[in-house]
């Protein structure tokens, strides 16, 4: 087994061996959501990808400080309006009410998708002092200038002095004439069009604003991540993540701000997830090419023929590598759902298997090879589709043992333990999947109850009590529970 974790570092544009700054510890920062409306499935994809990465690193024994922020100020729309203020205006709410409402919604959705909470979830508005201090140090180092109460990052000077502007995104400063649009209203104040605002003077009617040495105003969007990652993870930490649409300008500008204030690059490894598409096009609210998680759960959308459970959706997403796009189509979801059910069914069957022989059998060797390969896949830049394919080979073994095509004599007790542990480690701990139909605490009860029902049905059939056996069959059918009679007894599955 290759124990070395390799990950694709966007900064270097290649896979690199992962070496944490401090052995055994990892500092990881992921850009969180801007909480001005409901979280959409594309956001969910990115956060589920980082959840899988976080889970795998935890599984490998690292102690991790995982920081994921909440953007609640400064992320402006193209017309210059703050997204949170727009939400407040439209919904007639206090800006902080908007923030709380959609933060709660985001947390609920992340729970539905069974993702782990970060260690720290800092909000931009709670770190205004740190952001002002960072502006001051960038100015002190000569990389920012003030104009009419706003402060701009001097990209030309930064590029000239450090040769670092564009390092992440590959953009060339000369091509950036009209790219930085986060402060569109004040475009004319800038020395160069690619400069970006790090402090913005607020118009009198603007609600969210703070005193600063330059004006009553608010921080530029990119600044919060620089200030908060530095505060909680230090000037340089291990991993910085986000969706690849954030590479430019957000992450490029984060690097510029960090280097501009302390002289060092924030993160050693930059990880970027790819976009969720729908029917071949980027999922986007503006052209109607979107579906909310809730619509996907209930099936209440013209884009799907039926509803899909959160775990089936999560499994579907894990079937793609985090750096590949995913095209959400009804057909692909159906295929994903089938795979998910097969995987869960195998999980239920695994507990019913009992090895009868001691010592190494041929199946033991197969299991230990597959386990090695699954780890190799995850160590190769978190290749979940390949790791899942190994798990499906294990599913075939489980089903073969259950159905009698494989002999339990070829499996030792320790081989069976390894099969159970590998399944549990990968499916539950690393992929963060759970049985949608039956929650983990309920599964034991469910197994017990089903065994009882199967017994009663068996007795009823033996005594030709057709009334009871038919009733059991009909009620189970209504509950979409299917019984399968085999030579070793009766199994059950949930459709
Ligand atoms: P936002 O709330 O817009 O700041 O985005 C939160 C996170 O979701 C960022 O990391 C984005 O890159 C990511 N994201 C936005 N749209 C998509 C999409 N269609 N597919 C995958 N990730 C996305
Ligand atoms: Zn960020």
**CA–CA separation, 187 and 184 (whole Å):** 5
Determine whether 19 is exposed, middle or buried from the number of CB atoms within 10 Å of its CB (0-12, 13-18, 19+).
exposed
pLDDT higher at 253 or 36: 253
Ligand that comes closest to the CA of residue 67: 2
Residues lining ion ligand 2 (Cβ < 5 A) are 31, 225
Q: Which protein residue's CA is at the shortest distance from atom 18 of ligand 1?
A: 42
Q: Which protein residue's CA is at the shortest distance from atom 19 of ligand 1?
A: 42
Taking the CA of residue 242 as reference, the ligand 1 atom at the shortest distance is 10
Taking the CA of residue 274 as reference, the ligand 1 atom at the shortest distance is 21
Ligand that comes closest to the CA of residue 32: 1
Q: Which protein residue's CA is at the shortest distance from atom 9 of ligand 1?
A: 243
pLDDT band at 1 (very low <50, low <70, confident <90, very high): very low
pLDDT band at 446 (very low <50, low <70, confident <90, very high): confident
Question: Mapping DSSP to helix (H, G, I), strand (E, B) and coil, where does residue 419 land?
Answer: helix
Task: DSSP for 37-59, please give it.
Answer: S---HHHHHHHHHHHHHHHHHHH
Ligand that comes closest to the CA of residue 43: 1
Q: Output the CA 407–ligand 2 centroid distance in Å.
A: 54
Q: Which protein residue's CA is at the shortest distance from atom 16 of ligand 1?
A: 42
**CA–CA separation, 434 and 344 (whole Å):** 8
**Pocket of ligand 1 contains residue 58 by CB under 6 Å:** no
pTM exceeding 0.85: yes
Taking the CA of residue 276 as reference, the ligand 1 atom at the shortest distance is 20
Q: Which protein residue's CA is at the shortest distance from atom 2 of ligand 1?
A: 33
Q: Output the CA 242–ligand 1 centroid distance in Å.
A: 8
pLDDT tens-digit map of 342-394: 999 999 999 888 876 666 789 999 999 999 999 999 999 999 999 999 999 99
Q: Output the CA 31–ligand 2 centroid distance in Å.
A: 4
Among 124-138, 277-291, 405-419, name the one with the lowest average pLDDT: 277-291
Among 142-156, 296-310, 456-470, name the one with the lowest average pLDDT: 456-470
Residue 3 has pLDDT above 90, yes or no: no
Residue 237 has pLDDT above 80, yes or no: yes
**Cross-strand partners of 482:** 493
**CA–CA separation, 481 and 337 (whole Å):** 17
């Amino acid at each position: 087994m290759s124990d070395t974790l390799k990950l694709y570092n966007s900064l270097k544009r290649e896979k690199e061996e992962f070496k944490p700054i401090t052995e055994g510890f990892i500092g990881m920062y992921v850009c969180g959501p801007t909480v001005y409306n409901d979280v959409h499935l594309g956001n969910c994809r990115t956060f589920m990808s980082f959840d899988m990465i976080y889970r795998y690193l935890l599984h490998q024994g690292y102690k991790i400080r995982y920081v994921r922020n909440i953007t609640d100020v400064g992320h402006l729309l193209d017309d210059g309006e703050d997204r949170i203020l727009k939400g407040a205006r439209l919904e007639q709410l206090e800006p902080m009410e908007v923030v709380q409402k959609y933060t709660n919604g985001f947390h609920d959705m992340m729970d539905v998708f069974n993702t782990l909470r970060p260690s720290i979830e800092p909000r931009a508005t709670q770190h205004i002092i740190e952001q002002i201090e960072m502006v001051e140090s960038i100015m002190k180092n000569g990389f920012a200038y003030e104009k009419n109460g706003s402060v701009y990052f001097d990209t030309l000077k930064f590029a000239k002095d450090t040769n670092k502007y564009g390092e992440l995104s590959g953009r060339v400063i000369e091509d950036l004439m009209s790219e930085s649009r986060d402060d569109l209203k004040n475009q004319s104040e800038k020395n160069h069009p690619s400069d970006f605002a790090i402090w913005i003077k607020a118009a009198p009617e603007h609600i969210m604003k703070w005193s600063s040495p330059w004006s009553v105003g608010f921080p530029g969007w990119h600044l919060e991540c620089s200030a908060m990652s530095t505060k909680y993870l230090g000037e340089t930490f291990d991993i910085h993540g986000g969706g690849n649409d954030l590479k430019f300008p957000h992450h490029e500008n984060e690097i510029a701000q960090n280097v501009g204030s302390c002289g060092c690059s924030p993160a050693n490894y930059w990880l970027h997830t790819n976009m969720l598409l729908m029917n071949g096009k980027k999922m986007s609210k503006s052209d109607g090419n979107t579906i909310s998680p809730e619509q996907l759960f209930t099936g209440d959308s013209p884009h799907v023929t039926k509803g899909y459970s959160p775990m089936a959706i999560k499994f579907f997403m894990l079937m793609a590598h985090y750096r590949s796009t995913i095209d959400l189509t009804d057909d692909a979801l159906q295929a994903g759902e089938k795979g998910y059910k097969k995987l869960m069914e195998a999980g239920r069957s695994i507990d019913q298997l009992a090895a009868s022989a001691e010592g190494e059998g041929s199946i033991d060797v197969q299991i230990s090879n597959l386990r090695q390969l699954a780890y190799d896949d995850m160590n190769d830049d978190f290749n979940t589709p390949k790791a899942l394919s190994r798990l499906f080979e294990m599913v075939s073994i489980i089903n073969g043992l259950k159905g009698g095509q494989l002999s339990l004599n070829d499996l030792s007790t320790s081989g069976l333990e390894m099969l159970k542990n590998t399944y549990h480690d990968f499916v539950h701990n690393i992929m963060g999947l759970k049985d949608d139909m039956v929650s983990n605490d309920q599964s034991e009860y469910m197994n017990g109850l089903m065994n009882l029902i199967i017994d009663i049905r068996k007795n009823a059939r033996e005594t030709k009590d057709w009334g009871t056996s038919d009733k059991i069959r009909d009620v189970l059918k209504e509950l979409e529970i299917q019984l399968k009679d085999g030579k070793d007894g009766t199994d059950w599955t949930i459709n």
